[in-house]
């Protein structure tokens, strides 16, 4: 019976997996590099800058930070510093040069991986600021973190400023696991007292490192990021940081399969397989699956003489890579006992450096169970979890930067609060005017705006008068709290400065006076309405709803009717049967209808051009049957710039240069179709666990003074909070001077709205 457990679990999992393309691919996170140039450019103006980076150092639009700095005439890029694998991420350790003059840029490039791992005084002599833009993978053993700490140490010694541009932790901020490194076991693959999976961003880690360094450190945070976000949910494109980690699957498997250094247990296929010679693959899979480790199943697979298992990670959010890796080691040793590489008083093994302690090796050698090994570090891990809260930047609400975060003994005019502050912070503590986000602890020595009467005050903070028109992040209401009520967690009470980071694909022209909304009349016949051309100076908002019709759609239509606002609905064909009356009502009340394919299944629609249009036409025929008009307006599942289509395109016909998306777009033009993307979203595509207040606040973050905005929302059956938020969304956009129109193929809005 045991041999069938893996296959029973696999069958169960396959029934639980959502269909491909269940939600739109929305980019809602602005990276630290975006925020630096959009909002905090003063940090680098008139400075001589050295940049630690590699191929991962790109902004949310894919532009290299090197190029951004070289184009900026207000600064001087004096030197580049490259971590392991070099500036392009391809160099082998043996061939990686110590330093050279870049053939194009004409500036020195210093390697920080060979014999020189910390910048020397000579390297730093001709610069004012050391800028860091590197993508971490969430593991203590990843050497980019070591490069960061060594660089901060050198900057402190030479009196140089450090600016870290924050990036997501691809594993998210909730999985924190593994033995905590003990001081004796510090090395280049473990530079601080962290567990193997630390659950922090590189910016938060810089603040953590600075508790003992005391460098003049600034962290430029991300906008729109939350503690629980996985990389897939940010909408950002993944850039591999190492030739051994080509994709996110390998990143997730890194600690799950790669903890056996110095033992016969090895990984293969970019950290997606683990095993060893002499292991029975079926018994190994049986043990691993029988442990019911979250988010993963194990398939037996031999590689030559080695038996092992291939990981199939089906739920990245619950998957625990370190715990999985320790179970893999313990069960491998049960099946094929091997000597554990234990050190001595004079020698520390590589295995112990990876673990950060000798205790795991000792327990493994004693034949302890996997759970006993995991339990052994629970107390130390609990203490770390409490300590790390002091260095959190992000909480449960999408983060809105208002100032760069400063840490260190030196306070400058740029960040020094004007109000009376708390006693001088200890070495390496954080100074910023941002209140803690929901679920976070206030860093020691921070200042925060004064709460309103009766609101709760975080311990250890000082007061500062709030500015007018304060920003409301997700989780807050638009009304001021009554006297005696507590301030909602995660609320910020200071408005973002002009020039705050703009969501990908949007621009922010100067605000123009809004015009009064003209009266809107219902369409006399069930035909797609034609939007009038906007007058000069008008600001237009196009409300769009994807993935209906559903039981939520009538509630949205009720609100639109009450406020006399028109919208555009992109309909999934398979949901039309049984909901024809909803579509007829939408058209009768003056709304526009577009297609969103029949299946909305990425695996189906993005296989080929023929497959896409067959699916789209199937859905459009059902729409035409319901409303009497065939739509020529449509929206691509995931948007026109999605990258998921690359995963499902027929490899015999398409490749990375000749993609299925480019072929579909060309054919759409021939067929006379018009597609539309979006430049504002309420974030409801990321999860079904969100509130109406969060949806509203996400829109507020992105709406600046754009002339035209297309707002992406969803009216699927799980999106009730979107319907609940709609009255306040409409009220907010009207207050910004927008009038509302439908999207019309007769006067199409630019596909990628500017």
Mean pLDDT of 103-113: 92
In a shared domain, residues 333 and 221: no
Cα 98 to Cα 115: distance, rounded to the nearest angstrom: 8
In a shared domain, residues 83 and 213: yes
Residue 273 lies in a domain: yes
In a shared domain, residues 323 and 352: yes
Residue 82 lies in a domain: yes
End of a domain among 233, 265, 283?
233
In a shared domain, residues 291 and 224: no
Q: What is the pLDDT of residues 48-69, one digit of tens each?
A: 999 999 999 999 989 999 999 9
Inter-CA distances, 729 with 559, 560, 693, Å:
11, 11, 10
Which has the closest alpha carbon to 570: 437, 678, 728? Answer: 678
In a shared domain, residues 225 and 258: no
Q: What is the pLDDT of residues 115-126, one digit of tens each?
A: 889 999 999 999
Cα 724 to Cα 477: distance, rounded to the nearest angstrom: 13
End of a domain among 377, 408, 437?
377
Name 80's bridge partners: 51, 109
Residue 664 lies in a domain: yes
Do 249 and 264 meet the contact criterion of CB atoms below 8 Å apart? no
In a shared domain, residues 76 and 166: yes
| CATH code of the domain containing 341 | 3.90.1150.140
In a shared domain, residues 570 and 701: yes
Q: Residue 487's pLDDT band (boundaries 50, 70, 90)? A: very low
| CATH code of the domain containing 67 | 3.40.50.12170
In a shared domain, residues 222 and 339: no
pLDDT at residue number 433: 36
Segments forming the whole domain that contains residue 306: 248-377
Other CB atoms closer than 10 Å to residue 529's CB: what's the count? 20
Q: Determine which of 183-197, 428-442, 570-584, 686-700 has the lowest per-residue pLDDT on average.
A: 428-442
In a shared domain, residues 220 and 92: yes
Question: Which backbone phi and psi does 100 adopt, to 5 degrees?
Answer: -165, 165
Cα 587 to Cα 564: distance, rounded to the nearest angstrom: 14
Residue 457 lies in a domain: no
pLDDT at residue number 88: 86
Q: Buried (b) or exposed (e) across 266-294, using 16+ Cβ within 10 A?
A: bbbebbbbbbbeebebebbbbbbbebebe
Supply the DSSP symbol for 226.
-
Residue 181 lies in a domain: yes
Q: What is the pLDDT of residues 439-454, one digit of tens each?
A: 333 343 333 333 333 3
Number of domains in the chain: 3
Q: Which residue has the tokens 């639009």?
A: 61
Cα 241 to Cα 646: distance, rounded to the nearest angstrom: 20
In a shared domain, residues 128 and 261: no
Mean pLDDT of 371-386: 96
Q: What is the pLDDT of residues 235-272, one digit of tens each?
A: 899 999 988 999 999 999 999 999 999 999 999 999 99
Residue 670 lies in a domain: yes
Q: What is the pLDDT of residues 352-373, one digit of tens each?
A: 999 999 999 999 999 999 999 9
In a shared domain, residues 226 and 286: no
pLDDT at residue number 524: 37
| CATH code of the domain containing 559 | 3.20.20.370
Mean pLDDT of 365-385: 96
For 1, counting Cβ atoms within 10 Å of its Cβ (0-12 exposed, 13-18 middle, 19+ buried), the class is exposed
Q: What is the pLDDT of residues 513-535, one digit of tens each?
A: 333 333 333 333 344 444 444 45
Q: Look up residue 185 and give its two tokens.
A: 């076991």
Residue 502 lies in a domain: no
Of all residues in the chain, what percent carry a pLDDT higher than 90? 67
Cα 236 to Cα 58: distance, rounded to the nearest angstrom: 11
pLDDT at residue number 644: 85
Mean model confidence pLDDT for the chain: 82
In a shared domain, residues 79 and 227: yes
Helix, strand counts (H, E) of the chain: 21, 21
End of a domain among 377, 396, 423?
377
Cα torsion 90, 26, 168, 310 to 10°: value is -60
Q: What is the pLDDT of residues 629-662, one digit of tens each?
A: 999 999 999 988 888 899 899 999 999 889 999 9
Cα 267 to Cα 49: distance, rounded to the nearest angstrom: 40
Residue 616 lies in a domain: yes
* Euclidean distance between the first and the last CA atom of the chain, given in angstroms as a whole number: 60
Q: Look up residue 663 and give its two tokens.
A: 């072929």
């Amino acid at each position: 019976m045991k041999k069938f457990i893996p296959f029973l679990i696999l069958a169960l999992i396959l029934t639980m997996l959502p269909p491909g393309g269940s939600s739109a691919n929305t980019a809602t996170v602005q990276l630290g590099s975006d925020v630096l140039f959009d909002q905090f450019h003063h940090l680098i103006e008139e400075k001589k800058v050295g940049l630690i980076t590699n191929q991962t150092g790109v902004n949310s639009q894919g532009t290299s930070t090197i190029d951004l700095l070289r184009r900026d005439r207000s600064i001087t890029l004096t030197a580049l510093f490259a971590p392991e694998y070099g500036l392009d991420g391809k160099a082998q350790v043996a061939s990686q040069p110590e330093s050279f003059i870049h053939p194009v840029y004409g500036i020195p490039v210093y390697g920080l991986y060979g014999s020189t791992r910390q910048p020397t005084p000579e390297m730093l002599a001709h610069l004012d600021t050391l800028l860091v833009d590197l993508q971490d993978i969430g593991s203590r053993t990843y050497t980019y973190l070591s490069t960061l700490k060594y660089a901060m140490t050198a900057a402190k010694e030479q009196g140089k400023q450090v600016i870290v541009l924050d990036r997501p932790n691809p594993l998210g901020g909730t999985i924190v696991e593994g033995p905590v490194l003990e001081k004796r076991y510090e090395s280049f693959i473990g530079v601080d007292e962290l567990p193997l999976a630390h659950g922090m961003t590189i910016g938060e880690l810089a603040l953590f490192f600075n508790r003992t360094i005391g460098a003049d450190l600034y962290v430029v945070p991300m906008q729109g990021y939350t503690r629980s976000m996985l990389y897939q949910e940010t909408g950002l494109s993944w850039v591999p940081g190492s030739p051994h980690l080509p994709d996110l699957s390998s990143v997730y498997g890194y600690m799950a399969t790669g903890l056996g250094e110095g033992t016969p247990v090895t990984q293969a296929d970019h950290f997606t397989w683990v095993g060893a010679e002499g292991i029975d693959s079926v018994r190994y899979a049986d043990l691993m699956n029988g442990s019911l480790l979250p988010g993963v199943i194990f398939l037996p697979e031999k590689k030559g003489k080695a038996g092992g298992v291939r990981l199939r990670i089906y739920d990245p959010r619950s998957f625990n890579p370190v715990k999985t890796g320790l179970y893999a080691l313990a069960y491998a040793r049960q099946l094929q006992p091997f000597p554990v590489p234990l050190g001595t008083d004079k020698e520390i093994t590589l295995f112990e450096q990876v673990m950060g302690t000798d205790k795991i090796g000792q327990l493994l050698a004693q034949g302890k169970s996997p759970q006993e090994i995991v339990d052994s570090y629970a107390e130390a891990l609990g203490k770390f979890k409490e300590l790390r809260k002091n260095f959190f930047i992000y909480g449960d609400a999408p983060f809105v930067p208002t100032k760069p975060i400063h840490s260190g003994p030196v306070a400058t005019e740029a960040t020094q609060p004007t109000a009376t502050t708390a006693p001088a912070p200890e070495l390496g503590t954080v100074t910023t005017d941002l209140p803690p986000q929901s679920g976070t602890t206030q860093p020691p020595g921070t200042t925060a705006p004064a709460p309103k009467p009766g609101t709760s005050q975080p311990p250890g903070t000082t007061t500062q008068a709030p500015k007018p028109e304060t920003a409301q992040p997700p989780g807050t209401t638009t009304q001021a709290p009554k006297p005696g009520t507590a301030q909602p967690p995660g609320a910020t009470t200071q408005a973002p400065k002009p020039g705050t980071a703009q969501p990908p694909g949007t621009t922010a022209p100067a605000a123009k006076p809004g015009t009064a909304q003209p009266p809107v009349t219902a369409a006399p016949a069930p035909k797609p309405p034609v939007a009038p051309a906007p007058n000069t100076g008008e600001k237009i908002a196009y409300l769009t709803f994807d993935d209906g019709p559903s039981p939520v759609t009538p509630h949205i239509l009720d609100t639109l009717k009450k406020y006399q606002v028109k919208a555009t609905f992109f309909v999934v064909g398979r949901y039309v049967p049984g909901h024809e009356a909803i579509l007829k009502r939408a058209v009768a009340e003056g709304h526009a209808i577009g297609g969103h394919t029949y299946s909305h299944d990425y695996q189906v629609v993005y296989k080929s051009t023929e497959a896409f249009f067959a699916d789209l036409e199937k859905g459009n025929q059902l729409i035409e049957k319901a409303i009497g008009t065939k739509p020529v307006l449509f929206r691509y599942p995931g948007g026109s710039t999605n990258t998921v289509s690359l995963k499902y395109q027929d490899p015999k016909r398409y490749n990375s240069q000749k993609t299925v998306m480019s072929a579909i777009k060309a054919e759409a033009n021939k067929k006379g179709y018009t597609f539309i993307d979006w430049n504002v979203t309420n974030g409801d595509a990321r999860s079904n666990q969100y509130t109406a207040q969060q949806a509203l606040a996400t829109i507020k973050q992105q709406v600046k003074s754009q002339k035209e905005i297309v707002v992406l929302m969803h009216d699927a059956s799980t999106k009730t909070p979107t319907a609940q938020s709609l009255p306040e969304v409409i009220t907010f956009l009207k207050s910004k001077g927008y009038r509302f129109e439908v999207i019309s193929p007769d006067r199409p809005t630019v596909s990628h709205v500017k």
